[in-house]
Amino acid sequence: MRKIFLPGTILLSLIALVRAADPAKTDANKATSATFLITGLHCPPCTSTVERSLSKTPGIRLVKVDWNTKNAKVEFDESTIPAQRVAELIAATPHMMGPSMHYDSWLALKAADVKDDATAKAAKEALGKVAGVKKAEAFPDQHIVEVQFASDGNVTSAQLIEALSSANIKSENY
């Protein structure tokens, strides 16, 4: 058997070509990681209820709900399921304490430029103009903005980030 040695650049090009052809590697580039603050978590088992509910949804790759922070870290493909729909699914999860109890959620975004009341007001106004946003809150001390969605729509986190960018506020998924 004869060994073939390829120059480094050819070998790296072949590796890149193989990875580009691998759908699992390509889809990873589409993944959005976001944090949703969940209200209505009354006990630690609620975290499993929300995780199980969301993990059954096409486009959602990973869900981890933290009882202590009341946050859900969700990795999903926004070309399949927008952030607003993820929030709707959290709200639609049957509560383990019965139909009189409900979960709800807010999408959190890091916003380093939100540092005071003036930038908080500008962020809230920019987000409030996005169709599908019910309410926006800003927390300058933590440099975070949160969005509560209306009951219908297909708002993506990218659209929210763009709205903030248009108001000269840098932001990213949290």
Distance of CA 95 to the CA centre of its chain: 22
Q: Please, where are the H alpha helices in 56-116?
A: 83-92
Residue 29 above 80 pLDDT? no
129-166 per-position pLDDT tens digit: 999 999 999 999 999 999 999 988 999 999 999 999 99
Q: Is residue 93 part of a domain?
A: yes
Residue-range definition of the domain harbouring residue 146: 34-173
Asked if residue 171 lies in contact with residue 109, where contact means CB atoms within 8 angstroms, the answer is yes
Average pLDDT over residues 93-114: 94
Residue appearing with tokens 């060994």: 3
Q: What is the CATH number of the domain that holds 123?
A: 3.30.70.100
On average, the pLDDT of the chain sits at 87
Residue 90 lies in a domain: yes
24 domain-assigned? no
As a whole number of Å, the end-to-end CA separation of the chain is 53
In a domain, 49, yes or no: yes
Q: What is the pLDDT of residues 31-64, one digit of tens each?
A: 999 999 999 998 999 999 999 999 999 999 999 9
- For residue 116, the SS3 value is coil
Q: What total number of domains does the chain contain?
A: 1
pTM attached to this predicted model:
0.81
81 assigned to some structural domain = yes
d(CA 138, CA 128): 12
Whether residue 3 is contained in a domain is answered as no
With contact defined as beta carbons under 8 Å apart, do 53 and 41 qualify? no
> Which residue in 136, 107, 104 sits closest to 39, CA to CA?
104
Q: Is residue 8 part of a domain?
A: no
